[in-house]
Amino acid sequence: MSNTKTQTVSQNQKTVIKPPKRYKVVLLNDDYTPMDFVVAVLIDVFHLPHTQAIAIMLMVHESGRGVCGVFQKDIAETRCSQVLLRAEEAGFPLQCLVEEA
């Protein structure tokens, strides 16, 4: 005869799911990239309306940097890469970086 006892394990643990961290895509000002090019990049890469693209471009121009959007890390890095590639192809020194929001 076997004296095996069955134990019941309580499953009262709650799983906490945290939302993913958010990251800002930031454009940096320079003295060579034309304002029209910056506006076009903001419209094409970030899908911003023209008026918002102009506002961000002016922020970059006046304060030296401007946030283009806040995204999950992989999306932020992709958008930043797209900006850098377009600038390089056009021969402009426009710089972009990703920062934790």
Q: Is residue 94 domain-resident? A: yes
Q: Is residue 71 domain-resident? A: yes
Domain of residue 58, CATH code: 3.30.1390.10
What's the total number of domains in the chain?
1
Between 2 and 44, whose confidence is greater? 44
Q: Is residue 41 domain-resident? A: yes
Q: Is the pLDDT score of 88 beyond 60? A: yes
Residue-wise pLDDT tens digits, 20-32? 999 999 999 999 9
Q: Is residue 81 domain-resident? A: yes
The confidence score (pLDDT) of residue 61 equals 97
Q: Is residue 10 domain-resident? A: no
Which H or E run contains 74?
A: helix 73-90
Q: Measured between alpha carbons, how far is 37 from 92 in angstroms, rounded to an integer? A: 9
Q: Is residue 15 domain-resident? A: no
Q: Is residue 18 domain-resident? A: no
Q: What range does the domain containing 84 cover?
A: 30-100
The confidence score (pLDDT) of residue 14 equals 86
Residue-wise pLDDT tens digits, 56-87? 999 999 999 999 999 999 999 999 999 999 99
Q: Measured between alpha carbons, how far is 23 from 20 in angstroms, rounded to an integer? A: 10
